[in-house]
Amino acid sequence: MRIVAPAARKAAAAEKVGVLLVNLGTPDGTDYWPMRRYLGEFLSDRRVIEWPRAIWYPILYGIVLSRRPQRSGAAYDTIWNREQNESPLRTFTRAQGEKLASALAKHENVIVDWAMRYGRPSIETVTKSLMERGCDRIVMFPLYPQYSASTTATVNDKFFQALMKMRFQPAVRTVPAYYDEPIYIDALARSIEQHLATLSFEPEVVIASYHGIPLGYSKKGDPYHQHCLTTSQLLRERLGWDEKKLISTFQSRFGPEEWLQPYTDKTVERLGREGVKSIAVFNPGFVADCLETLEEIAVEAADIFQAAGGENFTHIPCLNDTADGMAVIEALVRRELSGWL
């Protein structure tokens, strides 16, 4: 029989489990230099832009980072949370972390925190903080329902790079993609039903708009496209809709190469020109509203649709820190914490 000394038992009792929620990232401000720092970190990620550095870096540092910070900053300024002087993504991610901590509060050995892949707080900084607070085990949750190398994998990369610098590493688990989890599908369906019930019109078409990736990434084996289509199909089944009522599109393309299609902007324009008068758009690939949902969809896509002849446009908010949204996050975290609580 193994005998544990009193001091060792006390040390073991003090060991804690960390839960780290990670989202994409956010600039610290809307001015040129905060935007340039953020975009520079984001667009220099080899998982995001896979072009050879000899080709991409002259474009990035010679053209993109000279012009794009102003345009992106102006867009961010339209959605900025002025009360807290931060982007909505930071506001929602913090709230998700705080609410998850409250849900797990009865487990005194659990510490919940959050980080961003790009910008602050960084994954490395928060991982070190969890270790310093006594966490010898960490569940790291990339907040992306559908897996892509340009999102989930780059979060995993950064997390494990942080661990590579440590003499003493924690035991770790990462939360897998959950694009087909019943609790996630049900939460999305309820959010759609609840939003549509508040409208004075019934959308003829409901669009699930996912963030796009270059078509070449899919051809290399990235499962993202299929994950998105599976989410949409499961939602159709849950809502009792057909493929004409709920369609899938892809937004936010960047650069000259072909991306996953159909494109969201081209689709809403086509629908308007074809005589469709009412549509709704939601973003099942985002766990929190951000620039790509609040400005690119709720504003830009609405303008495109109405300019093409459409009349009624509504954007259905992301799950954010709603009760349904938090139920998804909590359920997945509790599953990965099994045996550690």
Q: Which fold has domain 182-316?
A: Rossmann fold (3.40.50)
C-alpha 144/C-alpha 147 separation (Å) is: 7
pLDDT, averaged in runs of 10, over the chain (341 residues): 46 76 97 97 96 96 95 97 97 98 96 98 98 97 98 98 96 98 98 98 98 97 98 98 98 93 98 98 98 98 98 98 98 96 86
3-state SS of the chain? CCCCCHHHHHHHHHCEEEEEEEEEEECCCCCHHHHHHHHHHHHCCCCCCCCCHHHHHHHHHHHHHHHHHHHHHHHHHHHCECCCCECHHHHHHHHHHHHHHHHCCCCCCEEEEEEEEEECCEHHHHHHHHHHCCEEEEEEEECCCCCCHHHHHHHHHHHHHHHHCCCCCCEEEECCCCCCCHHHHHHHHHHHHHHHCCCCCCCCEEEEEEECCEHHHHHCCCCHHHHHHHHHHHHHHHHCCCCCCEEEEEECCCCCCCECCCEHHHHHHHHHHCCCCEEEEECCCCCCCCHHHHCHHHHHHHHHHHHCCCCEEEEECCCCCCHHHHHHHHHHHHHHCCCCC
User: Residue 289: which of 24, 82, 85 has the closest Cα?
Assistant: 24
Locus of tokens 């985002």 = 286
CA dist., res. 249 & res. 161, Å (int): 34
The rounded distance, in Å, linking the Cα atoms of 143 and 176 is 10
* Predicted model pTM: 0.93
- Confidence at residue 121, expressed as pLDDT on a 0 to 100 scale: 97
pLDDT score recorded for residue 4: 47
Q: In this predicted model, what pLDDT tens digit does every residue of 54-87 receive, in sequence order?
A: 999 999 999 999 999 999 999 999 999 999 999 9
What are the extents of the domains in the chain?
Answer: 182-316
pLDDT of residue 150: 97
pLDDT per residue over 203-226, tens digit each?
999 999 999 999 999 999 999 999
Q: What is the per-residue pLDDT across 159-208, written as a single tens digit (0 to 9) for each?
A: 999 999 999 999 999 999 999 999 999 999 999 999 999 999 999 999 99
Are the beta carbons of 76 and 30 closer than 8 angstroms?
A: yes
